[in-house]
A = this chain, B = another copy of it.
Amino acid sequence: MRSTKRYGKKIDLALNVWVKLTRAYVTFHKLSEENIRSFGLTGPQFSVLESLGHLGPMTTGVLCKKQLVSGGNMTVVIDNLEKEGLVERIPSTEDRRAITIRLTPKGKRLFDEIFPQHAEYIAKLTSVLPEEEQVKLAELLKKLGTTLAARF
């Protein structure tokens, strides 16, 4: 950390956290994305399938909040999944502005097939840390993420 040693102890520590968070995330993300591509899906497509597969049908807006992406982007992602016949748009019964997205049977089959494989891969990557460190890391990251989201 030679590059971040000139701003006082507190700031150096904070910069170090941020740098390490970025490196760990980017490296992990590239590997995960690569694995997802091998299933013929993009990362965002996979994330949508995962949300729908685990939590059931939900509206476009809820999907946006879950993945923290813009609405314009989500429309495109859903368009592409729809073209592949993996999801379908159903007008919401309660709110006629809203559209419910759900897996088609084909989408459900694909999800059931590839999600466990991808989960195995994630576990392989994560296993570079022993389990007790994984627990600690998840706990700290959760605290950081939720507190930031709540406070800023």
Contacts and interface: CB of A to CB of B under 8 A. Distances in A.
Interface in A10-48: 10-11, 13-18, 20-32
A113 interface: no
A26 B68 contact: yes
Contacts of A136: 136, 140
Interface string A113-152: 0001001101101111101011111101111111111011
B141 A137 contact: yes
Interface of A: 2-4, 7, 10-11, 13-18, 20-32, 50-51, 54-55, 68, 116, 119-120, 122-123, 125-129, 131, 133-138, 140-149, 151-152
20 contacts: A4-B54, A10-B127, A11-B119, A11-B120, A14-B125, A15-B119, A16-B134, A16-B138, A17-B134, A17-B141, A18-B122, A21-B21, A21-B141, A24-B144, A27-B149, A125-B148, A128-B151, A129-B140, A136-B136, A137-B141
Given A31-B148, A129-B147, 7 more contacts: A13-B138, A15-B123, A17-B141, A21-B25, A24-B142, A128-B143, A128-B144
